[in-house]
């Protein structure tokens, strides 16, 4: 036993380590401890993983080779970074700033291209083709610092949105330059080449941006299993990457567009988003960063003055060009210093597309010397200089992005809190059917304010006149399931198992105890809303409660809805609860990325339009002459729309007798649609939440 154990230890610990179990253990230890150790030195964790990769890699202590397993995992991590960037971008803000993204994309492409060609052709004495390819390496960049920015809570800042949009533009243009240069060296750049490239890119874009959402919506409608949903998302990322390569562009563009395509279908507050971010940040992205570190070779500094000159020249020009592009953009749009740092930090790191370009250029053989040595499009000095440039630019990028994001985050915290004087919001979810739990929690998570979120409570009411042990176990099981669903979305959910004489008393009493501002009630899919028993229960809760009450029926998952059609009665803006329910619907539209189509009076729509200028969402408004005309809307409703009826209690300004007929209208005309009956808050002493 002892000799075999000794032999195993010697074989396993021989360098480089080939035992897959030990290799994986070392990488996990790096992912765990490298950020912890280097954070004490105030070195960003991303940079710490790159440094750790350099130490254990073939050019360091040679513990681990950069073999196919590292390359595979690293490639997945790179695609994951681009996918998350597309997934977490605020599409409303992106559309609003699309012209800014285009301008920044052109700046951060053209300035590095110009300086790069000057460096290569006039200073380093390269050929024009080599100089153009070298310049395209400077023009592209990798969002390696994006996890830092997102972790600090400024991932949806306007500068971040503009930079991400610009990244798609500059990387696409840079990789197109690479394709053209390689084609020119092979002598096949003709009209057929341009036609094939153009058509393939257009076809690829249409499939991803228009086809992927349709496929994903159908999948999410029919499959709610968390594992299946995550594997499906991962498959869509790699499918987009494969289609991009088939179209003649780099895979990272396909991953980014896949994120954009699935953006509206994976709400930011959903359990699926939590899983996507968790697995990416825990496994895939660290593998990529460690793999980048393994490319770093300190010995290039001793390879000769020419290598050092090329490396330093490339690094200085690439950094200067990216800073100039960010500076010009920030001056054009009057961004502050911290937003400038974020734009520069996100766009300065050279990694993914740069590596692709240098490896392709290095492998293109233009001819041979009399001694038989290959003449490469990019020589050894450029290859080694690229590795140095990657390390230095990644270092500068992470430091700049962290500083800018940290300062912006602190500024947000230092702003006077307009909501500080108000009590925190508190959502209460009535859990009485296990089929409703997931969707009710999803709705509550989407509606909760970002600030002043307060607690979320799941309640189940049991008749205290009986002693049904089976009912008690069933109720506790449903509450436990609700906690599990909420925890998957990283939301803390409190539970309340309440005993009372009836459901109405139990709910109303609990709302008072928990100071509940919002109550969500679920309705069975196959149950008529106008049934007397159900109707009386709802009336009792609505009449006795003073907070926002939402009666919700989910025919399909919240994330698969494209639009919420909101029917608002005249003079709704005159009620005390108006700003509260508007706030909730605004949060819901922003969280799900769905359009808010509002039908209401001119006065109401004018207020909403003003609000949308400061807090933009995808808003579409239409004048509704009379609340009795609500059925006209049914003709314009599609299968992926949800109806929101803003109701009112009697004796309030917006009350209309037609509201009494709405349950029957829903049962007759909207039996297959998601709907929300929204009864606004009645508290008079609360401010805007």
pLDDT in tens, 492-511: 888 888 888 788 888 888 88
Specify the pLDDT at position 370.
Answer: 75
Q: Are residues 350 and 448 in the same domain?
A: no
Please name which of 276, 279, 286, 274 lies closest in space to residue 35, comparing C-alpha atoms: 286
Q: CA 318, CA 137: separation in Å to the nearest integer? A: 9
Comparison of pLDDT for 307 and 419, the residue scoring more: 307
Q: DSSP state, 263?
A: G
Q: The domain that contains 381 carries what CATH number?
A: 1.20.1530.20
Q: Which of 411, 446, 461 is the last residue of a domain?
A: 411
Q: Are residues 545 and 455 in the same domain?
A: yes
Number of domains in the chain: 2
Q: CA 173, CA 179: separation in Å to the nearest integer? A: 10
Q: Are residues 447 and 342 in the same domain?
A: no
Name the band, by pLDDT with cuts 50, 70 and 90, for residue 239.
Answer: very high
Q: Are residues 395 and 470 in the same domain?
A: no
Q: Are residues 389 and 524 in the same domain?
A: no
Residue 323 lies in a domain: yes
pLDDT tens-place string over residues 445-488 = 888 876 656 788 888 888 776 666 777 888 888 888 888 888 87
Q: The domain that contains 661 carries what CATH number?
A: 3.40.50.12370
Q: Which of 383, 411, 439 is the last residue of a domain?
A: 411
Q: CA 593, CA 584: separation in Å to the nearest integer? A: 14
Residue 263 lies in a domain: no
Specify the pLDDT at position 684.
Answer: 43
Residue 217 lies in a domain: no
Specify the pLDDT at position 417.
Answer: 44
Residue 36 lies in a domain: yes
pLDDT tens-place string over residues 615-636 = 888 888 888 777 666 666 767 7
Q: Are residues 337 and 476 in the same domain?
A: no
Q: Are residues 490 and 349 in the same domain?
A: no
Comparison of pLDDT for 95 and 331, the residue scoring more: 331
Residue 246 lies in a domain: no
Q: Are 56 and 24 in contact (CB under 8 A)?
A: no
Q: CA 78, CA 444: separation in Å to the nearest integer? A: 33
Specify the pLDDT at position 421.
Answer: 38
Q: Which of 380, 411, 442 is the last residue of a domain?
A: 411
Percent of the chain with pLDDT over 90: 7
| Burial class of residue 255 (count of CB atoms within 10 Å of its CB; 0-12, 13-18, 19+) | buried
Q: CA 259, CA 80: separation in Å to the nearest integer? A: 9
Q: Are residues 612 and 665 in the same domain?
A: yes
Specify the pLDDT at position 418.
Answer: 41
Give the residue-averaged pLDDT of 245-264. Answer: 83
Give the residue-averaged pLDDT of 556-571. Answer: 88
Percent of the chain with pLDDT over 70: 87
Buried b (16+ CB within 10 A) or exposed e, 187-203: eebeeebeeebeebbee
Q: Are residues 389 and 494 in the same domain?
A: no
Q: CA 149, CA 398: separation in Å to the nearest integer? A: 9
Residue 613 lies in a domain: yes
Q: Which domain holds residue 384?
A: 21-189+283-411
pLDDT tens-place string over residues 175-226 = 778 778 877 776 666 777 778 888 888 898 899 989 999 999 999 888 888 8
Average pLDDT, the chain: 80
Residue 486 lies in a domain: yes
Q: Are residues 290 and 314 in the same domain?
A: yes
Residue 8 lies in a domain: no
Q: Are residues 522 and 398 in the same domain?
A: no
Q: Is 377 a residue whose pLDDT tops 80? A: no
Angle, helix 128-139 to helix 380-414, in steps of 10 degrees: 20
Q: Is 235 a residue whose pLDDT tops 90? A: yes
pLDDT tens-place string over residues 39-59 = 777 666 777 787 888 888 888
Specify the pLDDT at position 31.
Answer: 87
H-helix or E-strand spanning residue 548: strand 548-553
Q: Are residues 298 and 389 in the same domain?
A: yes
Q: CA 271, CA 269: separation in Å to the nearest integer? A: 7
């Amino acid at each position: 036993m002892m000799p075999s154990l000794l032999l195993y230890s010697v074989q396993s610990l021989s360098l480089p380590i080939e035992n897959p179990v030990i290799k994986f253990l070392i990488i996990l230890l790096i992912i765990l401890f490298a950020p912890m150790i280097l954070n004490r030195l105030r070195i960003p964790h991303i940079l710490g993983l790159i440094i750790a990769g350099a130490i254990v890699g073939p050019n360091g202590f040679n513990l681990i080779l950069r073999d196919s397993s590292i390359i595979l995992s690293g490639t997945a991590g790179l695609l994951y970074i681009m996918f998350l960037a597309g997934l977490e971008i605020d599409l409303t803000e992106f559309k609003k700033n699309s012209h800014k993204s285009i301008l920044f994309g052109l700046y951060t492409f053209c300035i590095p291209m110009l300086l790069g060609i000057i460096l290569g052709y006039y200073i380093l004495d390269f050929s024009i083709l080599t100089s153009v390819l070298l310049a395209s390496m400077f023009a592209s960049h990798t969002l390696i610092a994006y996890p830092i920015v997102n972790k600090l809570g400024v991932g949806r800042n306007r500068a971040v949105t503009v930079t991400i949009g610009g990244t798609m533009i500059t990387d696409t243009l840079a990789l197109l330059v690479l394709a053209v240069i390689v084609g020119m060296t092979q002598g096949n750049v003709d009209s057929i080449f341009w036609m094939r490239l153009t058509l393939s890119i257009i076809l690829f874009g249409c499939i991803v941006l228009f086809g992927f959402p349709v496929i994903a919506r159908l999948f999410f409608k029919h499959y709610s299993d968390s594992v299946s949903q995550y594997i499906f998302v991962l498959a869509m990322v790699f499918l987009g990457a494969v289609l991009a390569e088939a179209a003649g562009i780099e895979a990272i563009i396909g991953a980014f567009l896949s994120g954009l395509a699935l953006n509206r279908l994976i709400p930011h507050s959903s359990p699926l988003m939590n899983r996507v971010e968790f697995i990416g940040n825990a496994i895939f992205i660290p593998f990529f960063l460690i793999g980048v570190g393994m490319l770093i070779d300190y010995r290039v500094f001793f390879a000769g003055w020419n290598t050092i000159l090329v490396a330093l020249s490339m690094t200085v020009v690439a950094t200067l060009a990216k800073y100039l592009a960010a500076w010009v953009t920030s001056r054009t749009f009057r961004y502050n210093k911290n937003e400038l740092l974020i734009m520069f930090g996100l766009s300065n790191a050279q990694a993914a597309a740069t590596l692709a370009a240098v490896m392709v250029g290095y492998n293109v053989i233009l001819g041979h010397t009399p001694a038989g040595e290959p003449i490469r499009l990019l020589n050894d000095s450029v290859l080694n200089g690229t590795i140095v440039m990657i390390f230095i630019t990644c270092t500068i990028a992470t430091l700049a992005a962290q500083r800018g994001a940290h300062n912006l985050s602190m500024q947000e915290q230092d702003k006077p809190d307009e909501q500080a004087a108000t009590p925190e919001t508190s959502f209460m979810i009535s859990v009485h059917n296990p089929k409703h739990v997931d969707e009710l929690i999803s709705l509550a998570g989407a509606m909760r304010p970002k600030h002043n979120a307060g607690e979320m409570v799941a309640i189940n009411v049991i008749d205290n006149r009986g002693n049904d042990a089976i009912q008690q176990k069933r109720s506790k099981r449903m509450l436990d399931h609700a906690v599990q669903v909420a925890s998957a979305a990283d939301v803390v959910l409190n539970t309340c198992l309440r005993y009372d004489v009836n459901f109405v008393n139990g709910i109303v009493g609990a709302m008072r105890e928990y100071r509940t501002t919002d109550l969500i009630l679920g309705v069975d899919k196959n149950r008529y809303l106008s049934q007397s028993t159900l109707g009386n229960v709802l009336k009792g809760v609505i009449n006795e409660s003073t907070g926002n009450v939402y009666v919700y029926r989910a025919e399909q998952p919240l994330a698969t809805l494209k639009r919420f059609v909101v029917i608002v009665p005249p003079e709704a803006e005159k009620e005390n609860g108006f700003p509260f329910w508007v706030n909730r619907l605004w949060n819901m539209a922003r969280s799900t990325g769905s359009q808010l189509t509002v039908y209401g009076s001119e006065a109401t729509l004018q207020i909403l339009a003003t609000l949308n200028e400061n807090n933009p969402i995808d808003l579409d408004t239409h004048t509704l002459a009379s609340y009795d005309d609500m059925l006209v809307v049914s003709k314009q409703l599609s299968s992926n729309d949800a109806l929101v009826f803003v109701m009112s209690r009697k004796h309030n300004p917006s009350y209309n007798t037609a509201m009494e007929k709405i349950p029957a209208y829903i049962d007759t005309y909207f039996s297959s649609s998601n709907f929300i009956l929204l009864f606004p808050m009645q508290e008079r002493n609360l401010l805007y939440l």
